[in-house]
Amino acid sequence: ADYQYVMTLIATQKDQLNQHVSAYMTDKMLPELYSGMATKRYEMTPYVYARKTPDEGIAGFFDLPRYSSGYAAIHNTISFMPETHMLKSYKDRVLSTYDFSLTMLEHINRHRSELMLARKKADEDTRTKTIFDIRFALDYGQAETVTFKGYKAKYKPSAVTGQSRLYYDHNSPFEKEIPFYNTYKSTLQIEKPKAYVFPQAYHKIAERLMWNGVKVERIDTEKTMNVQSYFIENYKDQKAYEGHYLHYDIEISQKPVNLKVYEGDYIVYTDQTSNNYIMATLEPQHPDSFFAWNFTDGILMQKEHFSPYVFEDLAATILKKDVGLKAAFESKKRSDTEFAENAKAQLNWIYERSPYYEEGYKRYPVARIK
């Protein structure tokens, strides 16, 4: 989009920030940054994230932890991404960035004690709270209004395609109130466990946790633990992105498991000020979890199968010994014609419910200790 401003601002999304730093940023810091820039050379507006054209409204950008400002947010840190307009002059872009930096430093110098107190409260709240927001969605039912200085959007025939094309008429500047959709609502909340435990084979996960200030301990003796395990039921893959194929729309099931752990396996307790990072990376349904970023993809490949001619007799024995399983099997054959006509599918159905089925297939390796 094109508009009159040189400088736009992405602030850490307020609804994913801890309430203490979010309130400070929203009520005190942002108003002072906008007013401070207005008294200098370059007035500022929120980042112009528009569905069509800015005069129809703009939306707040949701900065996931993969982005620098979203990464700051999960560490209870206020962050800003100032973005200058690509069509403005280089000189103006540099000077507006200088003005913003100066305005921010002036604010921090005046309010450093308040800012530090808000961060301290946020850290303690993060350590002790039990429910964490894992996913968010933009709420188009709630909107603020902002005064916006833009250019009228118009259309004309394209010299290239002959079709109608958008352009912004600099001879028709405007200043008016537009909707600013900047409220995100939580769509998935997870109760934190007492701890997470995972095998030492996943040392890359442990390393990244420690790099981010998480206290990671080691299991000191081999034992069996009662845990809650996730199983990946369904997911989609994004096209190549930053050297990965991100999983999304992740669906899970969970069940209690008696898990054998070994000396040297990892355990992470959730009584830490870094709990936001722990929950974001270890809960598989978070958009930026280690699962989403392919750190545990080995579980998604089934490595054990059966040979039908060998399994036939064993399957018959399994059904003979398990009356309930046999009843369910016969019921499915009656209700599912395609299944009833597919011998391999029937054997596979029995195999998946037998003691011989691959135990670790699609079982997320990071288990929860209640």
Q: Is the pLDDT of residue 139 over 90?
A: yes
> What are the structure tokens assigned to 78, written together?
């206020």
Q: How far apart are CA 69 and CA 270, in angstroms?
A: 23
Domain ranges of the chain: 7-187, 192-370
Question: According to the model, what pLDDT value does residue 160 have?
Answer: 98
Whether 359 has a pLDDT exceeding 90, the answer reads no
Phi, psi angle pair for 170, to nearest 5°: -70, -10
- The more confident residue out of 100 and 359 is 100
From the list 230, 310, 23, 278, the residue with the least C-alpha distance to 127 is: 278
What pLDDT is stored for residue 80 in this prediction? 97
| Mean pLDDT (whole number) for 117-127 | 98
* pLDDT band at 280; cut points 50, 70, 90: very high
Mean pLDDT, rounded, for 144-162: 97
* Mean pLDDT calculated for residue range 279-308: 96
The span from the CA of 370 to the CA of 363, in Å, is 18
The pLDDT score that the predictor gives to residue 209 is: 98
Separation CA 36–CA 151 (nearest Å): 24
Helix (H) or strand (E) holding 185: strand 184-191
Q: What is the pLDDT of residues 45-73, one digit of tens each?
A: 999 999 899 999 999 999 999 999 999 99
Instruction: Name the helix (H) or strand (E) containing 368.
Output: strand 367-369
* pLDDT more than 90, % of the chain: 99
Output the average pLDDT for the chain.
97
For residue 217, the cross-strand partners are 267
Strand order in the sheet with 44-46: 44-46, 7-11, 80-84
pLDDT digits (tens, 9 = 90+) for 314-356: 999 999 999 999 999 999 999 999 999 999 999 999 999 999 9
Residue 208: pLDDT band by 50, 70, 90 thresholds?
very high
pLDDT at 88: 97
Per-residue pLDDT at 251: 98
Q: How far apart are CA 50 and CA 197, in angstroms?
A: 43
Beta strands at 217-218 and 266-269: parallel, antiparallel or unpaired: antiparallel
Cα separation, 173 vs 215, whole angstroms: 55
Q: What is the pLDDT of residues 184-205, one digit of tens each?
A: 999 999 999 999 999 999 999 9
Average pLDDT over residues 236-248: 96
Grade residue 123 by pLDDT with cuts at 50, 70 and 90: very high
Six-digit token string for 350: 């029995």
Q: What integer pLDDT is reported at residue 51 of this predicted model?
A: 82
Q: Residue 3 gets which letter from DSSP?
A: B
